Structure 1
């Protein structure tokens, strides 16, 4: 990415910069930091993934991951934080991919909040990753400025680094799913509230709220309703053998039955 340099980090001073960056992004409660300086030091020293993205001399993003099962094939990206809207997160992901491929790995995994539209669009459309498991309250209740005490449901995203749609995404060809005319609305957004629909079609669309982070502050009841509705509909479809194949118009998951 023009103007962004991504490199591995190795010193305590660098890890302290990452800690401060993550603190500025999440504003966690005391003791609730997403990762400590000491753990970054241990991960980096043992050959895992700890990197920073720099605009000039300024740290603008960072990512921490570790090797995961099955051994020799997977990097799990534990936490990534970056300034929004300047391509820094994308630069970090491309660096992760190059790092993993250079070590013979074939996939990268990470978790994300399924209610955050921009993250779903980024992961599915811009990167070509696919969510393959719904994980209710994965981290318990998270008390920070972004999660705001919400239950920490997560989707496990799998980025299969050499799949055709991933190679297209790396060429900056975002994936836009083609919907069949008989696609069903499994969950709709009506005036900012979730409205369940049909889930008995081959292709089902599952909406998520426009801005869950603001909704947590302005209408906690609606935010909770969205959390439980998406858990029930999207999580239920995945349990029933459906697969997420895309994110439509930056607003809803495309979920298809493989049969």
Structure 2
């Protein structure tokens, strides 16, 4: 489809502003960047848990979004996305990594906004990705800061990963859909106050799950099991998880724009 050129221009303006605020330059990767991108993926997930060099080069050559964020001329962030067409044409944003000392400083946000602009420029209006629903900062980033919506719960989606992040934990994931030119996303990117969701059920996210998983694996496993039951039952019943002002999950029947469901 064709996207209004004004929308595309505004998307790139937002991406440039986010990159400037983060102190980076974001662009499509050149072949000469591939070694640095692979290094970022290896640093984040462990060697052998990402694409190999030939696969990444092929994805880049085919025009998929292989992006690099440069700080002081060095790669400090990278993202990989590729086209999918199940349920409609979309970009599946598969991997994003930022060096530890630049995390929580806007680099990931800048990468995502550049991905969005690149998609809109090519007439792709939807992105999807998966994330662990128990990682609180990712839940806030994806649902509140970006305005993505949870569309599926995928229990143990990847199986046992044994990577540097998940370890032996089960790889439960939410799939989110980012409707790139929707009012919800526009409001989120403009920094609008999130809706006051009408909650049917809640799940508190008042612990750092990654620390809990390392310090008390049994407690982490109990929380994983509790969340799996809640999310499976909730989405099966037509509820959608959102994040409230306390960064806890609210399972709601409200519309994605925050309006209550008609009685």
Normalising by structure 2, what TM-score?
0.83
RMSD (Å), alpha carbons: 1.8
Partner of 1:215: 212
1:70 Cα shift?
4.7
Q: Please say if residues 73 and 104 of structure 1, whose CA atoms lie closer than 8 Å, have aligned partners that are also in contact.
A: no
Partner of 1:35: 51
Give the alignment of 1:51-66 within 5 angstroms: 51-66=67-82
1:71 Cα shift?
8.5
C-alpha offsets along residues 4-42 of structure 1, whole Å, 9 cap, x if unaligned? 11111131x41111111122222x2x53x2222221111
Equivalents in 2 of 1:10, 1:4: separation in Å? 16
Question: Where in structure 1 are there 5+ consecutive unaligned residues?
Answer: 184-202
Residue 151 of structure 1 aligns to a residue whose secondary structure is coil
Q: Please say if residues 108 and 160 of structure 1, whose CA atoms lie closer than 8 Å, have aligned partners that are also in contact.
A: yes
Equivalents in 1 of 2:36, 2:140: separation in Å? 28
Partner of 1:248: 244
Normalising by structure 1, what TM-score?
0.84
Residue 94 to residue 250, structure 1, CA distance change in 2 (3 Å): farther
Give the alignment of 1:73-222 within 5 angstroms: 73-82=89-98, 83-173=102-192, 175-180=193-198, 183=199, 203-222=200-219
The structure that is helix-richer by fraction is 2
**Structure 2 residue 33 is the aligned partner of structure 1 residue 14:** yes
1:257 Cα shift?
2.4
The structure that is strand-richer by fraction is 1
C-alpha offsets along residues 29-70 of structure 1, whole Å, 9 cap, x if unaligned? x53x22222211111111111000111212111000101115
